[in-house]
Structure 1
């Protein structure tokens, strides 16, 4: 095939001419997700000067496939479910809202952390799902979740943030002027110190119905092995809720 003919063939036709039509649906899904993650890796390197290891790309790709299979299974079992409306208010201009939540698996001594960062127009900037082997104490879980959520915001270069969570005791301790003498007081102190790195910040309590997406991410995080961070992308576990 000469270059003139090749240039007139788009990627879809080239794929079909090769072997795409002979592959099973599961394999096609795997190839598509892998190709998409490789393309995103290339863009991150070119535009953001960030490099992801091949092992991380493979792990994230397979997690995406698991998410997609789980979503398809849910739709097959009960396709009539209508997601609950999630209340959310946009932050002021140039401020990024960070919603976090934690889920506890007492049986396996695991904590799942879910973080969702959106801008003042409601666009998803980043999502994080993290699973940690930890003593399953609810307060400790929420404090750890807040800490890693603030770290994520710093890592991606945010300057003005509004941190929101539905754990009132943790929110009050972060906002309080006194040192916390709880067993996880050092975590609260670390959060306060990290918050001083931002140009401006606020910390607010919100009820669960305003924090539903972060809660879904936290529950989903219990099924992963490490940490998954999606930049300007939405995990399939919350796609239907946005």
Structure 2
């Protein structure tokens, strides 16, 4: 099994009780030298599709990459969220990120947290934009116009 997926699977199995986890309402940068992946999924039930949005930023809040993807959706909402997270992990791997650090060792620790939509707005906007796509769109070190205001 791929170490990225393996690490994510291990973390999912060991998630703390959801009632004990704080719910954040604003985006907070990761520690210096690390980066943060925000992902969101949106169902378009009438079209039997879903949208995925991913935003990866560094400790200074700079956008490293973003992704917008449409998928066929015989999925439930939680499955679409998981697909969004998986897309974020694959994009991070493509950028050479390991454990949130550029060119570090294999992923060993993956931290999950829930953030309210207001703190995850750029990823949510990208997920909603996906309904208009034919192909995936990926931005590397370039800010998509549709999320410029939300990133501020």
1:201 deviates by 3.0
Greater share of helix residues, 1 or 2? 1
| Alignment gaps of 5+ in structure 1 | 1-85, 163-195
Query: 155, 158, 175: which one pairs with 2:97?
Result: 158
Query: 123, 135, 144: which one pairs with 1:226?
Result: 135
Say if 2:41 and 2:84, in contact at 8 Å, map to a contact too: yes
Say if 2:26 and 2:116, in contact at 8 Å, map to a contact too: no
**Greater radius of gyration (CA):** 1
Write out aligned runs for 1:194-205 (5 A). 197-205=106-114
Alignment size in residue pairs:
124
1:204 deviates by 1.4
Query: 111, 128, 134: which one pairs with 2:67?
Result: 128
Write out aligned runs for 1:51-70 (5 A). none
1:206 alignment counterpart: 115
Query: What's the TM-score, normalizing by structure 2?
Result: 0.75
Secondary structure in 2 matching 1:203 = coil
> Distance between the aligned counterparts of 1:199 and 1:137, measured in 2?
28
1:200 deviates by 4.0
1:90 alignment counterpart: 29
Q: Deviations over 1:151-203 (max 9, x none)?
A: 111111012329xxxxxxxxxxxxxxxxxxxxxxxxxxxxxxxxx94254322
Query: What's the TM-score, normalizing by structure 1?
Result: 0.48
Say if 2:99 and 2:106, in contact at 8 Å, map to a contact too: no
Secondary structure in 2 matching 1:234 = coil
Question: Are residue 111 (structure 1) and residue 50 (structure 2) matched?
Answer: yes
Could you list the runs of 4 or more consecutive aligned residues of structure 1 that deviate by over 4 angstroms after TM superposition? none
What is the RMSD of the two structures over their aligned residues, measured on CA atoms? 1.9
1:140 deviates by 1.5
1:136 deviates by 4.5
Greater share of strand residues, 1 or 2? 2
Secondary structure in 2 matching 1:87 = coil
Say if 2:26 and 2:115, in contact at 8 Å, map to a contact too: no
Q: Deviations over 1:16-49 (max 9, x none)?
A: xxxxxxxxxxxxxxxxxxxxxxxxxxxxxxxxxx
Q: Deviations over 1:214-237 (max 9, x none)?
A: 111100111111211000011111
